[in-house]
């Protein structure tokens, strides 16, 4: 029952969250092996009351490991996933390295756990993709969605722990009358926002937006689903928000949407119109559920097939570590 | 040529911007009369090198005034606009009091200056509406738009000067480990965002969203234009951003859109894909132009009728004071 788990990238924002999630969920763990690059090796981290030293990742790092959780970037995943697999481990990879590869399942356990099968590498989807689809899938499953238009409000955590620190420190500087001096982000983030800083393709979409489109189609097994995304970074620490406009194949009522979302696993409906209380990143931060609200019929689609939603989800939890640990809990031994 | 101008709400965020805009545009001004409630009367403000005392507004305040610029809230507008009109002034009102009234023109000078006519009261549209339509109108004029879906990222300035101070002070508190203590906004704004805090109607849309829908239809004289808006407050000081998805009646190319926007008055195209440089609120702050970028064909509309845009505009300038002063410059004597 208890399996040996390795974490690659243990000292990063997602790595630290892997440890917290394993502890909080009481996931049965035999050995917990913490791995990182040479730069972070030697750091000591606590897990279930004891200190564990972070080791530098190497060719023997995955010997005896059942499940390896990776969050050290796509390049590290490409280097170390074959090593872990050769050592007999199953890899749950949080990077984009393998997500679109044929034969690598891309999994949100509430949506497509059956895709895991006996794959050696299972990919964890992009954070914005997970958070959007926690709300969209339960609807799509019952009432097929034809088109999605999403605008994101993405937290600094998506760019890692140094980006979160940059948001805090730069904001402190700006409040003290000093200029913003961006290092991690290409643009000032204090009291500002900007288009997601991933490369832009020929069609004008950036890599983050492309992930939301292609990954959603793969997870839903809906290759023709029409999706457009605009991904924007905002000065928020760790929960992503998304304004989602849906067009369904058939008419759907607001009440049906609310009823479906109220019973959807991993979803919390926060939709208090009288109290003007809806999902907010500070409420969703540190929480496992994705918060959904502003549920309303799209008045721009008078045929009754349109629904608007607003979603917030913790980027480090359901957007990354929690989803990966849920996958790890689903995988059996190889 | 030089006319006597009164400003009601002179000490507010928009009031101060009225003064700055009149000065910077070298608008011919005879007397400048500054008016406010009793609470702010006595404040001294500078205009063109001299100090002007702010007077408490009263029944004789508009005698001899040619144009009165109002930005003191809808209740003050309802009280004082009839007084100003009776005194022979023409009122440019920044509040929502009269915007949807028949016979009150709702004007963006780049779009419908002809609507001004000889109206005694001219309404200045909602800030998010102006900023969106500076980009949408030049396209709609040539290639009719059938449907707009917009998600906003609205600055604190839209809720006034105290809201801007709250954002700064609350952020300072949070960085110092103190709890956020919201007073102006109903929710914490430091490192957070929330659904626009205007009342929600039965259809689930809030008042700000409803303004964007109804005011756009009135300004465009397009009563059937399909529009849906999601209005979100973000921790930014004074420029609003908006992700806009458009569906046109006919096919349109990205190049046509870019060409039209490049020559549109009051619009600055910032769309550097290679440099990943697009409109940002800190760049648009204090500027007269609305910045437009992320121009691309909507890949979710394979019939070629969809376009995505991202717009930033200074909420206090084009979103309020500049637009009102431009209207004032258009109106003749009564």
Question: What digits encode the pLDDT tens for the residues A173-215?
Answer: 999 999 999 999 999 999 999 999 999 999 999 999 999 999 9
pLDDT at residue number A137: 98
Mutate to test the interface with A, among B169, B228, B285 (most CBs of A within 10 A): B228
pLDDT at residue number B108: 98
Helix, strand, coil percent values for chain A (each to nearest 5) = 30, 25, 40
Question: In the predicted model, is pLDDT for residue B9 greater than 90?
Answer: yes
- CB < 8 Å to A298, chain B: 149, 228
pLDDT at residue number B49: 95
Question: In the predicted model, is pLDDT for residue A333 greater than 90?
Answer: no
The first and second tokens of residue B45, run together, are 């403000």
Catalytically annotated residues of A: 127, 240
Cα A307 to Cα A253: distance, rounded to the nearest angstrom: 8
pLDDT at residue number A118: 95
Would you tell me which residues 169-198 of chain A have a C-beta closer than 8 angstroms to some C-beta of chain B? 171-172, 175, 186-188, 191-195, 197
Inter-residue contact A334 to A275 (CB < 8 Å): no
What dihedral do alpha carbons B288, B293, B295, B298 form, nearest 10°? -110
* CB-based contact, B200 to chain A, within 8 Å: yes
pLDDT at residue number B1: 72
Q: What's the pLDDT band for A293 if we cut at 50, 70, 90?
A: very high
Mutate to test the interface with B, among A232, A237, A238, A293 (most CBs of B within 10 A): A232
Percent of chain A with pLDDT over 90: 98
Q: What's the pLDDT band for B30 if we cut at 50, 70, 90?
A: very high
CA distances in angstroms from A14 to A8, A316, B124, B196, listed in the order given: 10, 6, 47, 31
Would you tell me which residues 205-264 of chain B have a C-beta closer than 8 angstroms to some C-beta of chain A? 205-206, 213, 226-228, 230, 232, 234-237, 241, 243, 245, 254
Out of B192, B243, B280, the one facing A236 most closely (by C-beta) is B192
pLDDT at residue number B332: 79
Would you tell me which residues 154-173 of chain A have a C-beta closer than 8 angstroms to some C-beta of chain B? 167-168, 171-172
Q: Where are the alpha helices (DSSP H) in A121-230?
A: 127-142, 161-175, 207-220
* CB-based contact, A49 to chain B, within 8 Å: no
Give B122 to chain A, closest Cα distance, Å. 28
Cα A262 to Cα A268: distance, rounded to the nearest angstrom: 7
Cα A107 to Cα A115: distance, rounded to the nearest angstrom: 7
**Where in chain B does DSSP place strands (E)?**
3-8, 29-36, 44-47, 50-53, 55-56, 67-70, 90-93, 121-123, 145-153, 194-195, 226-230, 232-233, 239-248, 267-269, 290-297, 306-314
pLDDT in tens, B303-321: 999 999 999 999 999 999 9
pLDDT at residue number B51: 97
**Residue in B with minimal Cα distance to A284:** B192
Cα A188 to Cα A233: distance, rounded to the nearest angstrom: 11
CA distances in angstroms from A131 to A135, A207, A290, listed in the order given: 7, 17, 6
Residues A25-29, mean pLDDT to the nearest whole number: 95
Yes or no, beta carbons of A274 and B200 under 8 Å apart: yes
Measure the CA angle with vertex A165, ends A163 and A170; round to 5°. 95
Inter-residue contact B35 to B6 (CB < 8 Å): yes
Q: Give the other-Cβ count within 10 Å of A275's Cβ.
A: 8
Cα B199 to Cα A268: distance, rounded to the nearest angstrom: 22
Q: What's the pLDDT band for B89 if we cut at 50, 70, 90?
A: very high
The first and second tokens of residue B276, run together, are 């990943």
Residue B45: Cβ-neighbour burial (10 angstroms; 0-12, 13-18, 19+): middle
Inter-residue contact B89 to B65 (CB < 8 Å): yes
- CB < 8 Å to A296, chain B: 203-205
Would you tell me which residues 305-324 of chain A have a C-beta closer than 8 angstroms to some C-beta of chain B? 306, 308, 310
Q: Where are the alpha helices (DSSP H) in chain B?
A: 13-24, 74-86, 127-142, 161-175, 207-220, 254-262, 281-284, 322-330
Residues A155-172, mean pLDDT to the nearest whole number: 96
Strands A90-93 and A121-123: parallel
Residues B136-154, mean pLDDT to the nearest whole number: 98
| Mean model confidence pLDDT for chain B | 97
Q: Which of A280, A77, A269, A69 is nearest to B191 (CA)?
A: A280
Q: What's the pLDDT band for A1 if we cut at 50, 70, 90?
A: confident
Residues A228-251, mean pLDDT to the nearest whole number: 98
Question: In the predicted model, is pLDDT for residue B142 greater than 80?
Answer: yes
Catalytically annotated residues of B: 127, 240
Out of A175, A186, A243, the one facing B276 most closely (by C-beta) is A186
**Residue in A with minimal Cα distance to B236:** A191
Task: Report the DSSP beta bridge partners of residue A154.
Answer: A233
Strand, coil or helix: A82:
helix
Residue-wise burial string across B125-134, b where 16 or more C-beta atoms lie within 10 A, e elsewhere: bbbbbbbbbb
Yes or no, beta carbons of A232 and B310 under 8 Å apart: yes
CA distances in angstroms from A178 to A132, A175, B132, listed in the order given: 37, 7, 32
Inter-residue contact B286 to B300 (CB < 8 Å): no
Yes or no, beta carbons of A193 and B230 under 8 Å apart: no
Cα A305 to Cα A249: distance, rounded to the nearest angstrom: 7
pLDDT at residue number B154: 98
- CB < 8 Å to A272, chain B: none
| Mean model confidence pLDDT for chain A | 97
Mutate to test the interface with B, among A156, A180, A181, A276 (most CBs of B within 10 A): A276
């Amino acid at each position: 029952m208890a399996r040996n788990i390795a974490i690659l990238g243990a000292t990063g924002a997602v790595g630290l969250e892997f440890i917290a999630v394993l502890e909080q969920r009481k996931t049965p763990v035999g050995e917990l092996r913490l791995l990182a690059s040479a730069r972070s090796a030697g750091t000591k981290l606590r897990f279930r009351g004891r200190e564990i030293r972070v080791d530098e990742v190497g060719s023997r790092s995955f010997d005896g490991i059942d499940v390896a959780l990776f969050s050290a970037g796509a390049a590290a995943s490409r280097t170390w996933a074959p090593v872990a697999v050769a050592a007999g481990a199953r890899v749950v990879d949080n990077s984009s390295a393998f997500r679109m590869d044929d034969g690598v399942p891309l999994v949100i356990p509430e949506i497509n756990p059956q895709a895991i099968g006996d794959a050696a590498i299972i990919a964890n989807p992009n954070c914005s993709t997970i958070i959007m689809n926690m709300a969209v899938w339960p609807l799509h499953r019952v009432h097929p969605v034809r088109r999605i238009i999403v605008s994101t409000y993405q937290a600094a955590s998506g760019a890692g722990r140094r980006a979160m620190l940059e948001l805090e420190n730069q904001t402190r500087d700006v409040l003290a009358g000093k200029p913003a001096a961006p290092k991690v982000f290409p643009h000032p983030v204090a009291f500002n926002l900007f288009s997601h800083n991933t490369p832009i393709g020929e069609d004008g979409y950036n890599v983050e937006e492309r992930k939301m489109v292609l990954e959603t189609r793969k997870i839903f097994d809906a290759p023709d689903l029409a999706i457009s995304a605009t991904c924007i970074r905002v000065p928020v620490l760790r929960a992503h928000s998304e304004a989602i406009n849906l067009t369904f194949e058939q008419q759907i009522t607001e009440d049906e949407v609310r009823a479906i979302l109220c019973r959807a696993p991993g979803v919390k409906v926060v939709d208090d119109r009288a109290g003007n209380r809806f999902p907010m990143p500070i409420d969703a931060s540190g929480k496992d559920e994705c918060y959904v609200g502003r549920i309303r019929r799209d008045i721009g689609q008078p045929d009754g097939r349109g629904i608007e939603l607003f979603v917030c989800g913790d980027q480090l939890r359901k957007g990354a570590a929690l989803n990966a640990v849920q996958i790890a809990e689903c995988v059996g031994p190889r």
